[in-house]
Structure 1
Amino acid sequence: MDEALETLGEQLYTRIYSKHTEAAGKLTGMLLELPGPVLRQMLQDEAMLTAAVEKALRALQLELEPSRVSCKEEDEVSASSDSLGEQLFELVDVYNTGHSQKITGMLLEQHKEAVSNLLSDPKLLEEQVHVALETLKEQNEETDFSDVSDADDTEKLGERLFSLVEEMDSLHANDITGMLLEMEPAVLRQLLSDHTMLEAAVGKAQSALDTGR
């Protein structure tokens, strides 16, 4: 298991080093805290890897920034709660569940100490994400969505996606949105909530269009 992780680490380091030479070691270490299957998926999916590296970079910058001491205790409490929520969302988001915001909200209902434990224990976080995901699935099953509502859902996702894609490439927005809509709905929701990932996916679609011409 350790050898497999070492191999993954070497592959990740090589990919990250070309773009982030100085921070490559630190970024690789941060990503290696994620589960093996997620890491393997990242190595196959450039967009997912780029998004994860961007998040790790942001977390790194937060660590390096000197903490600003607030005069009011209330501000400190709300700021630390916001910070916990943001950090938790970043970690939950990596699992590509398509329900990052909902799951983060569910996990934040716990005591602050429990949330802090999740941030420092990847295995515990993974378990909690799976539990929250199962709960969401059960809620969806109870609602008993029909095929019609699935079609409506895809249509709504398509409309939201199109408006974002149009801002990036108005000329080919229709073609690019059409290509993106071939993805799973969960992945589409992920794209809508993660701008970095969306940019990467749009870039891929643009390259495919250029090649097809």
Structure 2
Amino acid sequence: MNEDEDREELGEQLYHLISPEHPDTASKLTGMLLELPVSVVRQMLQDEILLNEGLNRALNALHLNVDSQAGCEVASASSDSLGERLYDLIELHNTGHTHKVTGMLLEQQKEAVLQLLSDPALLEQKISLALKTLHELADEETNVSENSDRDEDIGETLFALVKQVEPTHCADITGMLLEMESESLNQILRSRAMLEVAVQKAKTAMEGIWDK
């Protein structure tokens, strides 16, 4: 069964559950819920509480859309009101980052937010983009953390080597050597002779400063 056939079957099951309570809007509500990921729709069919939560949020969005078309309320909709409605719709997608995604989407103009509330397909697209951005930021933070750990390891290794050559001022000299470019730093870590030369230069420079 392909995805379209799968959604059609899920839609029939949803409509059967929704129509007794919402006969006038069952088709619209079913269509709105079918915009959600298939896995979420399946969960709703198995969990009455989850289905009711989804219906309530879909009804809120449907009412907002009706108000928008009638020219009522939307013109004066507060940011808090829009944020609450947007949060409810994003929560249905079970992203695990509802609060962050809502905050990111609320940075848009009010008109763009209103469009998201009335266009499930567009909302899903924006949610995907927001999640991609969050994941990229998380990867960058991980890389920064890894680089920091690596720098700390290099500092400890260099300190131990410098201490063998010049134990008296090893901390100050290590600090100076860590200002070197990465390539030069790696060279002195691999070569004892280059390390001794670098330590002597650093010591001479420090003595010049102390003499002033």
**Alignment match, 1:6:** 8
Counterpart pick for 1:43 among 45, 51, 60: 45
**Alignment match, 1:81:** 79
Shift in Å, 1:43: 2.1
**Alignment match, 1:159:** none
The answer to whether the 8 Å contact 2:64/2:118 transfers is no
Shift in Å, 1:45: 3.6
Q: Is 1:34 equivalent to 2:36 in the alignment?
A: yes
**Structure 2 residues without counterparts, runs of 5 or longer:** 146-212
**Alignment match, 1:25:** 27
Call closer, same or farther: CA 1:85–1:123 in 2, change over 3 Å.
Answer: same
- Taking the aligned partners of 1:122 and 1:68, their CA distance within structure 2 comes to 21
Between structure 1 and structure 2, the one with the greater Rg is 2
**Alignment match, 1:132:** 130
Counterpart pick for 1:93 among 88, 91, 94: 91
Call closer, same or farther: CA 1:2–1:97 in 2, change over 3 Å.
Answer: closer
Q: How many residues align?
A: 139
Q: RMSD value over aligned CA atoms?
A: 3.4
**Aligned-partner residue type, residue 114 of structure 2:** S
Residues 136-163 of structure 1: per-residue CA shift (max 9 Å, x gap): 234344545x9xxxxxxxxxxxxxxxxx
Residues 12-64 of structure 1: per-residue CA shift (max 9 Å, x gap): 01122354455433422332333434323322343322210121233345566
**Structure 1 residues without counterparts, runs of 5 or longer:** 71-75, 147-213
**Alignment match, 1:162:** none
- Percent identity of paired positions between Structure 1 and Structure 2: 55
Counterpart pick for 2:102 among 101, 104, 109: 104
**Alignment match, 2:58:** 56
Query: Which has the higher mean CA deviation after the structures are superposed, 18-27 or 83-92?
Result: 18-27
Shift in Å, 1:2: 4.4
